[in-house]
Amino acid sequence: MSQWDVVIGLEIHVRLALDSKLFSGASAQYGAAPNSQVSFLDAALPGTLPVVNERAIDYAVRFGLSIDADIPEVTRFARKNYFYPDLPKGYQISQMDDPIVGRGQIEIETDKGAKIVNITRAHLEEDAGKSIHDQYDDWTAIDLNRAGTALIEVVSEPELYSAKEAVAYMRAIYNRVTFLGICDGNLQEGSFRCDANVSLKPTGSETLGTRAEIKNLNSFRFIEKAINFEIKRQKQRLERGEEVVQETRLYDADKDQTRTMRSKEDANDYRYFPDPDLPALNITADRLAKQRAVMPELPEAKLTRYTREWHLPEDDARQLAYDVAMSQFYEQSQALTKAEPVDNAKFLITDFNALLNEQDSDIKSTNISPGQYAGLLDAMSSGEISRKIAKQVLAEMWTSGESAETIIEQQGLAQISDSGALQSIITQLIKDNPNQVEQFKAGNDKMFNYFIGQVMKQTKGQANPAQTKQILEELLSNE
């Protein structure tokens, strides 16, 4: 039995997928030549003033709506003051009181099933530039391209109780913002970064322990390792009777450990105050309605629709609903096929996915269009081909790029659904195998499958199974 409860809260920085920065209009493109995307405002030249990027407001609102959050009528920007060479103004424009997104929630998957995690708030802020310490021996280089790009910081309640849950939460937020299209999700480029507040308390205790903050985690793997290391470190200290010091720590992935970055004593007093350059912003009901209208359907809503209206099994529905690309492909193909949604889902999740795995590809980069795929589904649902043949045709579609129809026709893969033809094959089989007929009549049911197998063999698997079964039953009973 563990003696300690782990409590984790996350602050996630989501870079908004915008063409221009939060306040300057300069390009926010990643990867340009250093300092090539720096406006006068980004360099904090005297007299320059911020003008808010309205799209950033819309994106933040969209995020807020997606987590069912309170969106206050009035939101305000504040200055967070500290000196650092890659922070040109000497303050970061962020939000303190009246953030754009209030309390909300998101569902995560845990070992014990689904869990609701409360989100305290999410606010807009500008990113700092980059200090590059390792490029020159005697210098620190500053790249201000990133300075002023738009972030939302999503702050969770301290309601995550293991590294696994923290990762599940981070994934849920990641899926959400990429689903909404407000973040490009590029972890390497720092589009999605996370600070984790970790603390331990004696099992059952109501009071939270002293926390350490691990800064700047930008991979799902590292966050889990970093938190686990931190839990171990704090546990060791507590069990030795030492105190955990409130501090900021950095995770070193190479050594798989966290180390002190700065202690609480060195912590900045950020002296937040409302930014007088930016009047309070009214978020009108009209704006909310507009954003609601352009929001893609959320996974939760999709899940409900898939299970209630399309009668998908919960597992299948969940797999599709929470995967943007899959659900898109699924819905697009469903709109074009006569096949039942249930059958489409089943084939997509098992057979199509198997092919994608085999090809080391994914649904986003498949060269089979939803329309082509719908054609295949139609052939299957009409009974023209069996599921087994359909898999074969799909593989052929992948390599040749031809439509299902063409492949089925060229390779003569259509099921024999001609009852006359099936009837004559089966009549001949019965005639040729009197022993087996006798055994069947004597009660050996296995013999029925023997005949089915023979039909399939003779038709190279193209016989319509249902029809075959029906004709066989009929003719055998006549014997």
Partner 1 sequence: MINLSIRELNQLLEKKQISLPELSSIYLDRCQQFNPLLNALLHINDDIQPEQLLTADNATGLLSGIPLIHKDLFSTHGVRTTAGSRMLAEYIPPFDATVVARLNQAGMMSLGKANMDEFAMGSSNEYSYFGPVNNPWDLNRVPGGSSGGSAAAVAARLTPVATASDTGGSIRQPAAFCGITGIKPSYGRASRFGMIAFASSLDQAGVMAVSADDCGLVLEAMMGHDDKDSTSIKADPWSWQAPQDAAMQGLKVGVIPAWIEQLTDDDIKQSTLSALETLVEQGAELIEVDLPHAELAVAAYYILAPAEASANLARFDGIRFGHQCADKSDDINDMYRKTRSEGFGAEVQRRIMLGTWALSSGYYDDYYCQAQRIRRLISEDFKQAFSQVDVMAVPVSPEVPFKHGEKSDGVNMYQADQFTIPSSLAGLPCLSMPIQPAHNLPVGLQLIGPYFNEQIILTTAAKFQMVTDYHRQMPEAFV
User: Residues interacting with partner 1, by CB under 8 A?
Assistant: 40, 43-52, 79, 81, 83-85, 88-91, 142, 269, 271-273, 276-279
Under 8 Å between Cβ of 378 and 337:
yes
Nearer to partner 1, 90 or 434 (CB): 90
Task: Give the nearest distance from C-beta 4 to partner 1 in angstroms.
Answer: 31
Nearer to partner 1, 84 or 118 (CB): 84
**Eight-class DSSP state of 132:** E
Task: Give the nearest distance from C-beta 45 to partner 1 in angstroms.
Answer: 7
Name which of 46, 48, 62 is nearest 14 in CA terms: 62
Cα–Cα distance, 258 to 436 (Å, whole number): 73
Nearer to partner 1, 84 or 290 (CB): 84
Task: Give the nearest distance from C-beta 279 to partner 1 in angstroms.
Answer: 6
Provide the 10 A C-beta neighbour count for residue 113.
6
Nearer to partner 1, 150 or 160 (CB): 150
CA distances from 96 to 14, 79, 84, 99, 457 (A): 17, 8, 20, 6, 73
Task: Give the nearest distance from C-beta 47 to partner 1 in angstroms.
Answer: 4
- Collapsing DSSP to helix, strand or coil, 449 comes out as helix
List, edge to edge, every strand of the sheet that includes 150-156.
104-110, 113-126, 150-156, 4-15, 192-202, 212-217, 247-252, 257-263
Under 8 Å between Cβ of 473 and 441:
no
Task: Give the nearest distance from C-beta 81 to partner 1 in angstroms.
Answer: 6
Which residues are 263's β-sheet partners?
247
Nearer to partner 1, 46 or 443 (CB): 46
Cα–Cα distance, 299 to 330 (Å, whole number): 13
Using only the alpha carbons of the chain, give its radius of gyration.
30
Nearer to partner 1, 30 or 272 (CB): 272
Task: Give the nearest distance from C-beta 11 to partner 1 in angstroms.
Answer: 19
Task: Give the nearest distance from C-beta 102 to partner 1 in angstroms.
Answer: 21
Nearer to partner 1, 135 or 424 (CB): 135
